[in-house]
Structure formats: structure tokens, C-alpha cells
A and B are shown apart, each in its own frame.
Chain A
Amino acid sequence: MTDTTPRIYVSTKRRPKEDGRFVSGAGRFVADIARPGMLHVALVTSPYPAAQIINVDTSVAAACPGVVTILAGPELANATAPLANAVDTPGVKIFPLAQSTVRYVGEWVVAVAAETRAMAEDAAELVEIDYDPMPFVVDPTEALGPSSPPVHSDHGNNILYDRVFTWGPVTDDFTISPHQLSFHVRWGRSATVPIETFGVIAEWGAGNQILDVWASIQMPSYPEQIASSLKIPLNRVRVHYDVDVGGSYGVKRGIKHTILVGYLARKLSRPIRLIEDRLENMTGGDMHGPDRRFDVSVAFDAQGVIRSLKLRALEDVGAQTGRAPFQLGKPVSAIVGAYRINSVEYHATAVSTNKTGQTAVRGFGMSPTNVALEMAVDKVARYLSLSRLTVRRRNFIRAYEFPYRIPSGSEYDSGNYHTVLAKARDLSNLDKLLARRDAARALGYVAGIGLATCLEPGGGNSAFEPLLNPKNETTTWPESCAIKVDRTGRVTATIATSSSGQGHQTLVATIIGEELEIDPDQIQVLHSDTLSALPGNTPVASRMAIMLGGAAAGAARKIRERVIQIGAHNLGCGLDDVIYCNGRVVRVGYGGQFITLDHIALIAHREFHNLPPGLSEPGLQAIHVEQVPQGGTLPKSDGRVQMYPCYSFAAHMVYAEIDRLTGKVSLEDYSIAHDCGTVINPDIVRGMVIGGAAHGIGAALYEEFVYNSAGQLLSGTFVDYVMPSAHEVPYIRVAEHCTPSPLTSHGQKGVGEGGYLGAPAAVMSAVNDALNPFGVECLELPLRASKLADLLAEAE
């Protein structure tokens, strides 16, 4: 199946609407917003991984110039409800400020509000806190043990979630398979670390009794959590979505920041702003990502056909939980990747430690799991002396098998993995790469070729919520769009989210333009606010092309239908006698007699007497709330669940050389072939794919939040937490393939996460191909230069 539908604007190169304001310096980020009389917050944080708070003395700080108030944990906890937990752990109670104990280095203890940020910081330095240090745990395996100090004493132990899922005849499949392999893989603690830190402004309206919030946010149920924690009705919380978010990729979830400033704004009747500085962001921002250890076993035959998979995942979620444990749930949606694996055992455990908490990161837990899966395939190939391409081709789901249901219950909508892999092979010019690698090796270089594939589920119904927490019966995650055509025929759409680089204004304008056959540049797309918005669930989970695209198409099609009705009536003919074309309703066969959209809009708004008899509503507007395709059902008792409707696919090929002495990895050549169905905007899609891969390269080679045995974070600055620059990311080439989704408005699927899902596995594959002649391997991310240098030195 390929896409041959004629399009006007979809899939056509067009300049994204958003970019004009960004290149001129006219973006409006949260730190660019100043409210009259606004106060600023600075934080006093814990220097200990675990301690009792004995005494807090704010007397000197309170006397500093400009200080308005100093807030400690007990007052805030008394006035608010605990922050939401993903899984059912009532003993885990998190408040923005520590109450009687601290649980990680960097945890907020005291907040100072002052006339300027500098004044607040000056005073924060003078707050005196006495602590009594307590036992703590840093290692997640240790944290599992019964003798480990519990991070949350009311919970009793550190195990927040633990379940073994079995899908299919795992024991039988292992018994009958002639070969088995078992190994460990480690995914290090990294995150997406946007260049903009999290920031929020809250302002309580004494007149309207509304809490206005401007934030750098990308989080579902944000206003709901604000209302719940601050104990105010939801219709008194107004989050403004017209704030540009300076990168997120999952992590911008400053709920504790928002509860803190929301409380202060109400208490002081003044606008309050909290913009994290970089250290606050790295240590206390709840922004670390997955930190996972895998035990993997695969059972396979002599041809390399994998019959069964056992996956044990231990996730270190740190001291603050939030939605973090759900990141063990999303991988269930594609637990076998692109492969026809018959049965799976998945043992998922989330454990708390005395570290900064974990939050959502691009792919929501999928990228670590994909590394485990892809390393299994590589190992099977190496064990049987088969090529890694061959083993993948033998195990791929065949193009004719779609829709294809995997053992854990989800049905993949469409795909053609063999073709995409062939495109990656051709784009990378694999024969030349192999020759290059072998020539380099002959000269004494350490060189390798990496290959990885990945599935990218998109547009989900958040079914991991009921899967991991049966008290949560979520079975839909809608998205909405409202369109109004004004009296002059101009089109304005409103959407229920802020954007952090995904180009939603472009997406919506392109799709409405396609449906109404009008220039997308003439369509206004506004980010609304939570009180005027229709239901929405924010741009997570590669869902917006599918869900917001579907909502925009749905609303536009309703407008189009109405336009045709009014047009036909005013042309004096029936609906079957007209066509809609380029913003006009044209009467077929009457010498091109037509009526324009502008004229129809005027009729709709002003000339009720010219409306068709059945139309009793003036104006020209429509809303559409898009239901998740394939959504609406709860998981079965064995955990099988339809989690996502659409499945994109990508194959990465990379050539790497490792410096023998320093262990430094250079990615010399990088190709990606991918299939995300119908592309809406080619430049946006290309950027998402390459950018995601760059981010994955960072996780693979450089980025890690490192803790020492004393529970101190050692990489809290950009000097220690190393992110790839233009030197480290090669000129990544991209080839596209289009297998449309049968479930979406234009055949589109998700694309925001695939690059990040494929790159870490591909880089690990390349590094281990390079290490292979030396008889060593490294299955620990990040693949630090020092580790690789040590391995090579030992091997020689």
C-alpha cells in the first residue's frame, strides 16, 4: 500500500507558520512575560540525600531588602493536597516543599518570594536549616531489598510497582527452541534537558476569582492537577496556552512549581514567577528520565527466528514519582518491536531511591526497551554468524500480515518493514560502508557498523494508566479543534494545547487548508486557554498529527458540508448538482456558475433569509473532538491491551570509529529510513527525525545524571552533563517511505519520537560491532569514552 492521493498542501514543502516569530526574536516564552507587581521565587534546597529537618530559621533572610514572604513545607502541605501519583501508592505523599524529611539532594525545602530574583537569591542564601542525616539508598538493586531504608516510610518499602506479565506460551517456546541467549543491558539516567528551563507565572484575580497560569508546560491533566492540589474548582484555573515552550520532549511538567506559585499568588494577591536556574533544573526539577536495568533472554532457532522473549526491567524512578512508573507501561504497546515473536514474559518493577525524581522523556520508556530488544537481535545474529539484516528480515512482520496483533494485545495498523530496511541499506550504501569498515580495521582502526529498527506507537488512549493502576479507568484521550469562519470568510482555528516545537499551527493550518482548499497562510491558528478550550491532552506520545490532525480535519469537513449546503441553496440547485473547489461552490454544467466561501460566510452570519430551510443556526463554525482510533476498551486481566492506534517504523544505519587510546566514538556516517505514513509538512518531519536521533546520540554516548555513593549529583551543570554539539552529530541523511495508516484523516502517523527510539540502539550496535574483533562488548549506556578505552586496553 502506498499513498497516491492527490494533495494540495499536505506533504508539500511549506514554511512553518511558527518560524517567523522565532527568527525575529519575537517568540513569547514564559520568561518574556512580566505581570505588573510580579514577585520572584528562589529556592533553598537539600544538601542531603535523606535527612530529618530539625529546624528552619528564616529570621535573617526575612529581614533582607525586597523579601515579601518565606514559605516552608508544613504551611504549604496544610493548605494543599499531595501531588498526583501514577500508580496506586497512597503511602507516597509528595508536596512541592519538603515537610519533615528530605529525600534527595536538591529537594526544595524553603521558597523565598521577593521583588526581584536577585533579592530572592540573596535572601535564600541566608536561610538556616538544621538537618539530621538519615540512611539513604542510591543503588536500585539495593533499594529492592528488605533491609534498604524506605525512601517513603509510609509506603513501607521501595517497590512502587511490580508485575510479571505473560503473553503466550513462553515456557513451551523456550523449551522447544534449540538456542537461547541471556544478557544484561543498562540504560543510564539521562533526560531531554531543554535549553529553556521550566518556568511558571501564577496570578490570582481578586475580581474574577480565577487563577491565571502562564507556563512552559507540556503535560496532560495540568489544570486538573492544579485545581486538585490547590483545592479550587477546575473552572477557576486558566492555563494560557499561548506561551511558546522552549523545548520539552516530555519533561516540562512543573506541577510542583505551579502549586507553589499558585499558593503564593493566592496568599499574597500578587503575580508570582518562578523560573528555574540551570542548577535547580538539573537537581530539583523532577526532570530526570528513565534509569533502567534489563535482564533479557531470547529463544530462537538455527535460522535466527526468534520464538520467545523474556524481559525483566528494573526502573529507578528516584524519590518523586509522578507519572514515572507508567514509563514501564508504554513499551507493552510494542513489546516485540517489528518482529513476529510468538510469546513474551515481561517483568516490570519500579523502585524508589534517594535521587531526583523521574519524569516523562521522549518515547515514554520505549527507547530503553528498544535497546534491549535490538541488542537481542544483534546477539542472535552474531551467535549464528548471520548478518544482522538477514536476522531482522527473517523476523520482521510481513507486509501482507497487517493489521497484525502482537502477543501483548495491540494491533499494528500498517507497515512495510522490509522495504524501509532496504531503503536504509541503500541510503547508507551498505556495501561501501562495509568496505570502509574493513579497510579501516586493516589499518588498525576500531570501526563498526550499527543497525537498529524501532516501532513508534502514536496517538494513544493512555491505556498504560489502567494497565498499571486498575483504579484508573482511562480509555480515551481526545483532542479537539474549533474552527470559525468569520463574516468576511477568514478562517480561525483554536487548539487546546501549547506547543514546544512541534509546529501545531502549521499542522492545523495545513490540514484545514487541504480540506477547505484555501491557502494555509491565510488561516489563523490560536493556542487557547484551558477555560475556553475543548478537551485536549497535550502533545505527548507522538499523537498530534493523528489526534489534532484528526480534530482539525473533522471540524473542517463539517464546515465544508455546511458551505456546500448554503452554496447549493443559493445557486438554486440540489447538493448533487454542485462541487466544492478552491474555496467556491460551483454548479456543475452551468457555465461555471459559482458562489464564493466569502459570500457564503456573509450569508451564514447576516442573511438568515438566504439559509437553506433546514439550517437554523446562524454563523459558520464547527467543533470536532477526535476520539482515539481503536480506543475505548480497558486492558484484559492478563494485561493485553490495545494501547496505540498507529505504528510508525524506522531503520537506522550508522558507521562509527572509536579512538583506540581515548575511547572517543565518532559517528562518521548516519542514515535513517522511516515510515510515518502521510507526511503533513516535510521539513517539520525531517527535523523531528534528525533531532530525535541527535537526542538519542546524546543518550547513547554522553549524557548521564551521575550520583556518587554519598547520594550527591555529580553532573548538575552543562560542563558535566555533556550534550552533543554540531561536532558530535553527523549530517544525518533521511529517506522516507509512506504506508498510510487506515485509521487517520490523511493516513498520517506519529513522528516525534522515532529518531530517539532508534538512535541509542543503532549507536550501541555500531560500538559493539567495532569492539567485536577484540572479543569485548559494552551494553551500558552511556557508552562512555573512558569505559570503551578501558575495554580496549584490557583486550589488547
Chain B
Amino acid sequence: MKRAVTLTINGEAISSEIEPRTTLVDFLREDVMLTGTHVGCEHGVCGACSVLLDGTPIRSCLLFAIQAEGHEVTTVEGLVEEDGSLGLLQDSFWETHAMQCGYCTPGMLIAAYGLLAESADPTEAEIREAISGNLCRCTGYVQIVDAVRLAAARMRQQ
């Protein structure tokens, strides 16, 4: 039995008929075809599926898509500038090589984006706290911390 859902994804109004048990991450990936958001553990630990819900980072594997009814969802694809170029945070991740395989990267970007929306000059401890719900098996986090610091510094200059 399917149910209607209407929500905003990356600024665009989306309506769809889905099974109520469909998680938000499956909906994003399979119905909306936004495959930038990744599935890691499906039990809310690894953070690979992080998206912004009304500006706050959440786990899209722990939310049913119908629970997002009427909300605004932002995925990694929505972090680009209006002209399609990379956002400042994305560019900073590239500049410091804050990734290797790239699988956790979208979730990391979402977590860092949430932090920088709240804090213009976060300390290393605050950065680590913000990304501590996102597991990365490649980098050891150092170049991710560097990237968030760099992005914050660049944002302050803007």
C-alpha cells in the first residue's frame, strides 16, 4: 500500500507515492535518483547517509521518507553554488584531500556544513565533535579537520 509524500529536496518540491516503510535514504537514492547520499550501516552509527533536514544533519537511514513530509532536505548534491560550481566547503575538502575512497565524504560534508552554519570559527575540538558521528576508514580524520578549518577561514574572509 503506497502513500503520498511531498517534501522539498535541494530546493525543489518533490511529490511521490511510496511504501510507508521506505527509508529516506532509499527514497533519495532510488526514487529521486540522488545517489550522492550513501548507505553504510543502516543502523544509524556510521553517518554515511547524513543529510540536512531543515538545516540540521540527520541520519537518513533512521527516518522514513514519509516522516520528511513538508520538510526541506538538502543532500550533497545541494551543496553546490547556484552556478553549479563546487561550494566552498566542497572545494576545501578537495584542497586538503580530506578523503580517499570518497564513500563517507558526502556525509562528512553534511556534518561539517551543519557545524559551519552554527559556528564561524570552530575549534579543533568542536570540529571533531561535529564529525564524530561520521566514520571514515580511510583518512584518520586529520585532513578532514584541516578541510573544515580551511573552509571556516575562507568563509570568514567572504
Contact = CB atoms under 8 A, between A and B. Distances in A.
A15 B97 contact: yes
A267 interface: no
B133 to A, nearest CB: 7
A53 interface: no
B96 interface: yes
Contact of A723 (B76, B103, B129, B137): B137
Contact of A24 (B90, B133, B136): B90
Interface string B43-60: 101101000000000000
Contacts of A755: 140
Interface string B21-35: 100000001000011
B94 A15 contact: yes
A501 B97 contact: no
A19 B140 contact: no
A23 B77 contact: no
Given A15-B94, A195-B103, A695-B137, A717 B43 contact: yes
Contact of B99 (A23, A502, A694, A732): A23
B101 A194 contact: yes
A725 interface: yes
A501 B96 CA distance: 15
Interface string A681-715: 00110111011111100000000000000000000
B86 interface: yes
B46 A718 contact: yes
Interface in A247-277: 247-249, 277
Contacts of B141: 694, 725-726, 729
B116 interface: no
A201 to B, nearest CB: 14
Contact of B35 (A32, A503, A687): A32
Contacts of A572: none
A718 B129 CA distance: 19
Chain B CB count within 10 A is highest, among A18, A194, A687, A688, for A687
A729 B136 CA distance: 11
A731 interface: yes
A215 B35 CA distance: 16
Given A25-B37, A694-B139, A726 B102 contact: no
Contacts of B94: 15-16, 19-20, 23
B77 A277 contact: no
B114 interface: no
A32 B129 CA distance: 30
A624 to B, nearest CB: 26
Contacts of B75: 25
A244 interface: yes
A245 B93 contact: no
Contacts of B142: 686, 690, 729, 731-732
Chain A contact patch, size range:
35 or more
A195 B128 contact: no
Nearest to A26: B36
Given A25-B75, A731-B142, A196 B36 contact: no
B72 interface: no
Instruction: Give the secondary structure class of B's interface.
Output: loop
Contact of A500 (B43, B77, B101, B140): B101
Interface stretch (B1-9, B62-70, B104-112): B104-112
Contact of B38 (A192, A246, A690, A729): A246
A89 to B, nearest CB: 32
A196 B42 CA distance: 11
Contacts, number: 177
A671 to B, nearest CB: 12
Interface string A711-741: 0000001110001011101011000000000
- Chain A CB count within 10 A is highest, among B21, B97, B104, B124, for B97
Contacts of A688: 100
B97 A196 contact: no
B152 interface: no
Contacts of B17: none
A21 interface: yes
A196 B138 CA distance: 12
Interface in A1-41: 15-16, 18-27, 29, 31-32
B41 A22 contact: no
Contacts of A277: 42
Nearest to A31: B39
Contacts of B105: 22-23, 27
A16 B41 CA distance: 28
Nearest to A14: B97
A254 to B, nearest CB: 16
Contacts of B106: 25
Contacts of A278: 40-43
Given A246-B38, A686-B143, A24 B100 contact: no
Nearest to B103: A246
Contacts of B121: none
Given A195-B137, A691-B140, A501 B128 contact: no
Nearest to A116: B30
A118 interface: yes
A473 B105 CA distance: 42
Given A15-B94, A732-B142, A726 B128 contact: yes
Nearest to A281: B41
B102 A501 contact: yes
Contacts of A717: 41, 43, 45
B132 interface: yes
A687 B100 contact: yes
A193 interface: yes
Contact of A25 (B35, B97, B127, B145): B35
B93 A246 contact: no
Nearest to B30: A34
A723 B132 contact: no
Contacts of B103: 27, 29, 194-196, 244, 246-247
B150 interface: no
A244 B101 CA distance: 7
B59 to A, nearest CB: 12
A196 B132 contact: no
A389 to B, nearest CB: 25
A24 B102 contact: no
B129 to A, nearest CB: 8
Given A19-B102, A726-B131, A719 B97 contact: no
Contacts of B127: 726
Contact of A21 (B97, B100, B102, B137): B102
A320 to B, nearest CB: 23
B67 to A, nearest CB: 18
Contacts of B101: 22, 194, 196, 244-248, 500-501
Given A684-B97, A732-B142, A195 B40 contact: yes
B102 A22 contact: yes
A247 B103 CA distance: 7
A24 B77 contact: yes
A501 to B, nearest CB: 3
B21 A725 contact: no
A20 B98 CA distance: 11
Contacts of A731: 124, 142, 145
Contacts of B131: 725-726
9 contacts: A23-B86, A29-B103, A501-B102, A683-B97, A690-B140, A723-B135, A725-B135, A729-B142, A732-B140
Given A247-B103, A727-B128, 18 more contacts: A19-B93, A19-B102, A23-B86, A23-B93, A24-B77, A118-B19, A118-B21, A247-B100, A501-B101, A502-B100, A690-B143, A691-B137, A717-B43, A718-B41, A719-B45, A725-B132, A726-B129, A727-B132
Q: Please list the 9 inter-chain residue pairs (A to B) with the smallest Cβ-Cβ separation, ordered nearest first.
A: A25-B36, A22-B102, A246-B103, A694-B140, A501-B100, A501-B101, A718-B45, A683-B97, A25-B76
